[in-house]
Amino acid sequence: MFRECNKKIFYLLLILFLPVVSSSVYAQGESLGVFEYLTGKVDSDPIFEAPLKEEVRAKKLEDKFVPSTAEKIKGKMVDHPTNIALAGLYRATAGHWAGAKVQARRLMSNSITIDGGLFFPFMFDYGPMWPYQLKAPWISALPQGYSLALFSYLYKKTGEKEFLETADKVYLSYLVPIEKGGFARYGPLGPFFDEYTNKIPTYVMNGSIIAMLALHDYAVISGNKEAMDLFKNGVKRFAELLPEYEIIHPATGIVTSSYALAPRRQEVLGRFVGFGDGKPDILGRFVGDGNVCVNWLSISARRSIDGLTQMLASLEVGKAKDDDVQERFYLWSDAKLMNWGEPVVWDEKPCREVNGNIGSFKHSPFKFKFSSWDAFYDYEVHVAYTSHDLSQVHLQLFDEQHYWDLGVLDSHQSSQYFAIPSGLVNSWRENAVVKNAFIYRMRLLGLRAGKRTVLESLDVGTYNDDNAMERFFIWPGVEFLNWGGGGEEGHYGQGGQQQRRKI
């Protein structure tokens, strides 16, 4: 949360002050826009992280091979223009100018020209979700900006005119409107340089800002006044949109930044559920408007053999790895979706607030596992916490169909035990029967003129069944979800073979 806010502030300071200080900065030989971003103290994106940056700075990395500068697409390595330009810029920031030239040549080997502008297209499809869906070749403001900065800095350092000439051509790509294959969305208020150049505007913040910073740097280095005017017009357009990016935390009032202004559409999510391995895997949550800081969660039961109480699973909330999904008991702390706050210390105890953050799902979930139902009875959940107000917080457990409310955390106490209803335990026992199945086809049907009509269809287990660019796809993430691998053979019909997946 704070990382995104810091990045936004850093970007804005650069953009707002660069027009004022650009001449003095250049005269003194200090950092320019993109250079300042890459070498500044602001938290960076994963693409800027170790080991690439550190290895480049140490000049230990061979120029013939650069990690992350290519994507493996259908078994082949395809150049990634953003990462190639970044690899060159990091060499430039390290003073390794020969290496920067190598990456510049790699960019040129995969370039195209549109209306005089030089472009570095992505030669692979992209589409994690709608509307960020693009078919190769596609253009983006992000690699165009990094590339413009790279060629500008190479010219500034070496004085070689070929780099200035190339930078001039990349600058011309800023003038090509998106309707003609460019990345600039021109309007009455000025241009917006978009990272994703589909028909539906997404207005991604970081891609546009990098493109503007690079445009500024090019204008200063080349002395191109028209480019500086274009940069200023871009800033004016961005300033008009800026308030729309603000997300105000409903509980704390903290202002954070949205990634983009892309629209959303209605999507239908479905799932298959059940304890496939026969072992209990229980989802619980805290809901309500109250705020408590939880420091301990556990589930216990009496042993059938002697009636003694045994702890089956426990979690020290607020300590390291309390959200590690590899553990037997963990919480789900996704800040965008869930309400768990960051780990803090209250009354000398590590804990997390159940409403320390307001996610889109509006609850604070946790999950625990244990080996068997057969040897126990009289199950209960223990919660230790510190109350911050008198509003209610409910503890609930899920039976794969709906949530059961176990009770409310008493604001006058700091530790409570909640009995798990026998009906909920029986529901869990029923779901604990091993339920493996193979799925080979799914269809979404609708009625048209009284007849069933196939609206969408998916052949499960075939190539591309998990392609998020398609209208119907599965999400097979092995770390969190239960889909088996694709391509398993299964009998279908009267002896034919059909590809399938196991659930």
pLDDT digits (tens, 9 = 90+) for 310-365: 998 899 999 999 998 878 889 988 888 889 999 999 888 999 999 877 888 889 99
* Mean pLDDT value across residues 83-99: 90
The predicted pLDDT at position 485 comes to 64
**Measured distance CA(342)–CA(323) in Å, rounded:** 11
The predicted pLDDT at position 136 comes to 87
What is the band of 67 on the pLDDT scale with cuts at 50, 70, 90?
A: very low
Tell me the pLDDT tens digit for each residue of 275-303.
445 556 788 999 998 889 999 999 999 98
- pLDDT over threshold 50, residue 410: yes
Domain end among 431, 459, 492: 431
Together in a domain, 379 and 360:
yes
The least confident of 8-12, 246-250, 357-361, 438-442 is: 8-12
Domain end among 431, 448, 477: 431
124 found inside a domain? yes
209: left (phi over 0), alpha (psi -120 to 50) or beta: alpha
- pLDDT over threshold 80, residue 446: no
Q: Contact at 8 Å (CB) between 157 and 167?
A: no
275 found inside a domain? no
Domain end among 377, 412, 431: 431
Together in a domain, 47 and 166:
yes
User: b/e string for 10-41 if b means 16 or more Cβ within 10 A?
Assistant: bbbebbeebeeebeebeeeeebbbbbbbbeee
- pLDDT over threshold 50, residue 25: no
Chain centroid offset of residue 342 CA: 18
* Mean pLDDT value across residues 124-131: 75
Could you give phi then psi for residue 93, rounded to 5 degrees?
Answer: -65, -25
- pLDDT over threshold 80, residue 114: yes
**Angle at alpha carbon of residue 24, lines to 148 and 165, rounded to 5°:** 25
More confident residue, 413 or 68: 413
More confident residue, 179 or 252: 179
Peptide bond before residue 51 is cis, with ω within 30 degrees of 0:
yes
Together in a domain, 73 and 45:
yes
The predicted pLDDT at position 294 comes to 95
Together in a domain, 20 and 58:
yes
264 found inside a domain? no
The predicted pLDDT at position 4 comes to 40
Together in a domain, 464 and 424:
no
What is the band of 128 on the pLDDT scale with cuts at 50, 70, 90?
A: low
What is the band of 144 on the pLDDT scale with cuts at 50, 70, 90?
A: very high
Together in a domain, 355 and 482:
no
270 found inside a domain? no
* Domains held by the chain: number: 3
The amino acid occupying position 236 is: K
What is the band of 2 on the pLDDT scale with cuts at 50, 70, 90?
A: very low
The predicted pLDDT at position 273 comes to 58
Together in a domain, 339 and 234:
no
The predicted pLDDT at position 439 comes to 74
Could you give phi then psi for residue 344, rounded to 5 degrees?
Answer: -135, 175
53 found inside a domain? yes
11 found inside a domain? yes
Together in a domain, 421 and 483:
no
Percent of the chain with pLDDT over 90: 36
Give the mean pLDDT of the chain: 78
Together in a domain, 160 and 89:
yes
265 found inside a domain? no
Together in a domain, 230 and 328:
no
120 found inside a domain? yes
The predicted pLDDT at position 361 comes to 84
The predicted pLDDT at position 53 comes to 43
The predicted pLDDT at position 41 comes to 39
Together in a domain, 58 and 138:
yes
* Mean pLDDT value across residues 138-147: 95
The predicted pLDDT at position 351 comes to 94
Q: Residues 124-131: contacts with CB within 8 Å, 24+ apart?
A: 124/71, 124/73, 124/78, 125/469, 126/469, 127/467, 127/468, 127/469, 128/468, 129/468, 130/265, 130/267, 131/196, 131/198, 131/200, 131/202, 131/262, 131/263, 131/265
The predicted pLDDT at position 68 comes to 52
- pLDDT over threshold 70, residue 143: yes
Give residue 466's domain range.
Answer: 438-502
More confident residue, 15 or 74: 74
Together in a domain, 97 and 240:
yes
**Measured distance CA(324)–CA(321) in Å, rounded:** 5
What is the band of 503 on the pLDDT scale with cuts at 50, 70, 90?
A: very low
More confident residue, 168 or 455: 168
What CATH number does the domain containing 113 carry? 1.50.10
In which element (H, E) is residue 332 found? none
Tell me the pLDDT tens digit for each residue of 251-273.
566 777 778 887 776 667 676 65
The amino acid occupying position 34 is: V
The residue written with tokens 């290496």 in the block is 99
